[in-house]
Every structure is written in structure tokens, then in C-alpha cells.
Amino acid sequence: ISFEQFLDALDHHPQAGINYDPSHFILQQLDYLQFIDIYHERIFAFHVKDAEFNPDGRQGVYGGYAGWKERAGRFRSLGDGQVDFKGIFSKLTQYGYDSWAVLEWECCIKSAEQGAREGAPFIREHLIEVATKAFDDFAGGESDQASNRRLLGLD
């Protein structure tokens, strides 16, 4: 709803966009995949960043004074958290996203050096090459009625 209020305040200007960062959705407990379905036309940038949320009887969304390692919600290196990156890359590709996928690294456990070494290959492995034709277009061309009738033995 906040983004919709933002758009209203800007009279839905076409340059009002989103830097999509799924790690923040994990910490806020929002559906980050459905967010893509709703706002895909406004996603102009993408931070590839992971997080996890493991609440217990003592803490939840608000970490209070706990350090990052002890919080229920914390940022993690790519692949170590709970973000479904296959789902995200699939949805963004489905909607025609063609901008950057930028590693944003923040982790309370791993070093920045290890995060960088693991991050670039992680992103590369999730990039999707867009199909140039339908999967069932095995003949490589469009059909015509005369060819179909001949193949079926009708002519």
C-alpha cells in the first residue's frame, strides 16, 4: 500500500520505479513473489540479496537490541537464506525484466570476500536465457492448412 501511496503522490509518473530487494520482504514477512506479479511493470532494478526469518517465543520481526547474529530476521549470503531465487528469476524473466541483477551483500556470518566469491556465480547460475520460440515449435516454422492436410493424408 505504501508504494501505491507513493505512486498517487507522483501522479503515477512513468519513471517512478522500484529497486526490488527480496531480502527486505523476508524480514517484513511479505509475499515477495506475489509482489512481482502486482508491480512487475515498476521494477526497474533488482538487488540479489538473501535473508532468513526464524522467530521464536522471545523475538519476531523486531530484533530489539539483539546483535545481527542473534536476531530472528537477518541478512545472509546468497543461497544461505530463505529467498526463492529460482522463483524470482523465473517471474522477472516471464514479465520481461531486462535490467541489472546486482549483488548486494550483507551477512552477519560470512566474510565479504567469501560472499563476493560465491555471489557472482550464484547470480550467473540463476540467469535465464529467454526462449526465442515456443517449446512445441519443433518444426521451426508456422503451419499452413495445405501442409497439415497433406501430412494427415487428407489430400
Please indicate whether residue 149 or residue 104 has the higher confidence score (pLDDT): 104
Q: What is the pLDDT of residue 142?
A: 65
Instruction: Give the C-alpha distances (Å, rounded to integers) separating 39 from 95, 96, 118.
Output: 10, 13, 29
State yes or no: pLDDT of 60 exceeds 90.
no
pLDDT at 132 (0 to 100): 82
d(CA 31, CA 132) in angstroms, rounded, equals: 30
Is pLDDT at 141 greater than 70 in this prediction? no
pTM: predicted TM-score of the whole model, two decimal places: 0.83
**What integer pLDDT is reported at residue 134 of this predicted model?**
80
CB of 65 within 8 A of CB of 72? Answer: no
**What per-residue confidence (pLDDT) applies to 50?**
98
The predicted model gives 65-82 an average pLDDT of: 92
Residue 107 belongs to what domain range?
A: 2-151
CATH number of the structural domain spanning residue 102:
3.20.20.150
- Between 104 and 134, whose confidence is greater? 104
Question: What are φ and ψ of residue 150, in 5° steps?
Answer: -65, -45
| Number of compact structural domains in the chain | 1
